Structure 1
Amino acid sequence: MVQMIDLYWTVIPLMLVHYYASHPWGECNWWRSRVVIFLTWLWSVRLSHNYFRRENWQWGARQDWRFTNMSLSYGNHWWWISFFTVYFSQQLLLITLSLPFYAIHSVNKPLSMMDLVATVLCSSGILIAYFADTQLHNFVTRNNNLKYVGKPIVPVLDKGLWYYSRHPNYFGEQLWWWGLALYAWNIGYGWTLVGAIGNTLCLAYVTKLVEERMLRQKNRTEAYTKYQKTTSIWVPWFKVFDPSGVRNKNA
């Protein structure tokens, strides 16, 4: 049931932030705590909504293609390898990503300008991820409708946020976690950055897998290659010219 792992991401950070906030030995700045709790709820609702929308409002009906490929590669050994590669590793990542919740509820320091910066980063990350995922969902839906009527699909999504970044949804998710880590760093818990760093490295690997998969699809190879040459990989940025001096015709 590795397809259920995505749902853990929507609830565990939420449970942890409330655990630390309600712990009898905890101490914190009330406003910082409440802002972080509110933002964590927004993040969780966004992620949950995107999960169920992507799965056509079903619970665990479809397995992530990456896990399917891994299960085929490992065959009969997948039952125990999945414990380490899926469950244990992601639980460890979730715990380290949630360390800023512990920091925020372990010290009572006045608010500062850095808290405002962290709030802006977290809020921006949630909004960027929401709009990027919505644009991706609409793109996939349109392509499915084109397939249904026997028309060719659009090979690359290069509109909206995807015009400026090949993976704006990943960028938004990273902004959220780095903003959260900034809250902790600001009050003297810089070591909690380890979670955000680990998540960035993980998303770098996932990005590589996604792009390799796109390039393996013959109806997308040419268009996606051009898209790679002209579009920033994560951070939204202006289009660049490809080596031939011609701007991507899909832009």
Structure 2
Amino acid sequence: MQMIDPYWTVIPVMLLHFYATHPLAQCNMWRSRIVMLLTWVWSVRLSHNYFRREKWRWGAREDWRFTDLSQQYGRQWWWASFFAVYVSQQVFLIGLSLPLYVVHTVNQPLSFWDLVAIFVCVCGIVIAYFADKQLYDFVSKNGKLKALGKPVVPLLDNGLWYYSRHPNYFGEQLWWWGLGIFAWNLGQGWTFIGALVNTMCLAYVTKLVEERMAKQENRVDAFRLYQKTTSVWIPWFKSSPLGVKDKDT
């Protein structure tokens, strides 16, 4: 069973408290407490979404990406899993959490850019929460329809998902870029590298998800149209699909 998802919700919080309680830590008390509160809210939201999705069971279901990799590598799967997934993500999480380190090693007064960082972080948490809730409700509704022998809805195309094909990924990225603004404001803009690498990884995950969606016969046509008319990440207005003329023309 893959257990990397709940691991993500714990490590940043542990690193945060390690940095905050270190004997050599120096920081602005209010900035530290604000970042601490935001990080706990982010972690609780992500943990809640994971356990709700897994029907409140710990590691009961394996992620389809792990299943695909195990089929691809066969008996050699253990090393691909250990090195490519688990070991790499230890470094990845530390890199993403570098702004938490900066916040607790630089003592400067609060400024306008702290407000910007707070706004971006809160927007990320809120967008990810509603996107995940809408996805959960959609999957639950389809599960009930399938159990009754009724046709399922092929595509989630309302709420935030009307404006973006992956609003949950967009919200998650906002969170990490928001933390980066805290560090940039303290003169350590190089820590944006964590958020940048995370965005690149989510771009790859997005590609995998969309390739999988396009292979499902019951939704391929709807999804192809969805790709042509809907923004990938950033919520935006619908566009007309290429090759389809407006009814009024």
TM-score in same-fold range (> 0.5): yes
Residue type matched to 1:156 in 2?
L
Equivalent residue for 2:159?
160
TM-superposed CA distance for 1:189, in Å, is: 0.8
Q: Counterparts of 1:8 and 1:181 in 2: how far apart (Å)?
A: 21
- Of 210-219 and 83-92, more deviation after overlay is shown by 83-92
Q: Classify the secondary structure of the residue corresponding to 1:139.
A: helix
Cα-to-partner distance string for 1:47-67 (whole Å, 9 max, x where unaligned): 000000000000011110000
Matched, 1:172 2:168: no
- Of 21-30 and 77-86, more deviation after overlay is shown by 77-86
Residue type matched to 1:41 in 2?
W
Residue type matched to 1:109 in 2?
Q
TM-superposed CA distance for 1:245, in Å, is: 3.4
Q: Classify the secondary structure of the residue corresponding to 1:242.
A: coil
Q: Counterparts of 2:12 and 2:37 in 1: how far apart (Å)?
A: 12
Residue type matched to 1:129 in 2?
A
Alignment of 1:127-142 (within 5 A): 127-142=126-141
Equivalenced residues, count = 246
TM-superposed CA distance for 1:191, in Å, is: 1.1
Alignment of 1:67-78 (within 5 A): 67-78=66-77
Cα-to-partner distance string for 1:167-194 (whole Å, 9 max, x where unaligned): 0000000000000011001101111111
Q: Tell me, which stretches of 5 or more residues in structure 1 are unaligned? A: none
TM-superposed CA distance for 1:80, in Å, is: 1.4
TM-superposed CA distance for 1:246, in Å, is: 5.4
Equivalent residue for 2:204?
205
- Of 169-178 and 85-94, more deviation after overlay is shown by 85-94
Q: Counterparts of 2:171 and 2:245 in 1: how far apart (Å)?
A: 29
TM-superposed CA distance for 1:200, in Å, is: 0.2
Question: Sequence identity of aligned pairs in percent?
Answer: 67
Alignment of 1:207-226 (within 5 A): 207-226=206-225
Equivalent residue for 2:18?
19
Equivalent residue for 1:116?
115
Q: Counterparts of 2:80 and 2:165 in 1: how far apart (Å)?
A: 31
Equivalent residue for 2:43?
44
Residue type matched to 1:140 in 2?
V
Equivalent residue for 2:27?
28
TM-superposed CA distance for 1:244, in Å, is: 3.0
Q: Counterparts of 1:202 and 1:246 in 2: how far apart (Å)?
A: 36
Cα 1:211/1:80, change in 2 over 3 Å: same
Q: Counterparts of 2:162 and 2:245 in 1: how far apart (Å)?
A: 16
- TM-score, normalization: structure 1? 0.96
TM-superposed CA distance for 1:85, in Å, is: 1.3
TM-superposed CA distance for 1:89, in Å, is: 1.4
Residue type matched to 1:31 in 2?
W
Q: Counterparts of 1:57 and 1:235 in 2: how far apart (Å)?
A: 30
Q: Counterparts of 2:123 and 2:235 in 1: how far apart (Å)?
A: 13
Equivalent residue for 1:193?
192
CA-atom RMSD, angstroms? 0.9
Equivalent residue for 2:94?
95
- TM-score, normalization: structure 2? 0.97
Residue type matched to 1:186 in 2?
N
Alignment of 1:52-71 (within 5 A): 52-71=51-70
Equivalent residue for 1:126?
125
Equivalent residue for 2:181?
182
Residue type matched to 2:160 in 1?
L
Q: Counterparts of 1:92 and 1:23 in 2: how far apart (Å)?
A: 20
Cα-to-partner distance string for 1:223-248 (whole Å, 9 max, x where unaligned): 0000000000000000111113358x
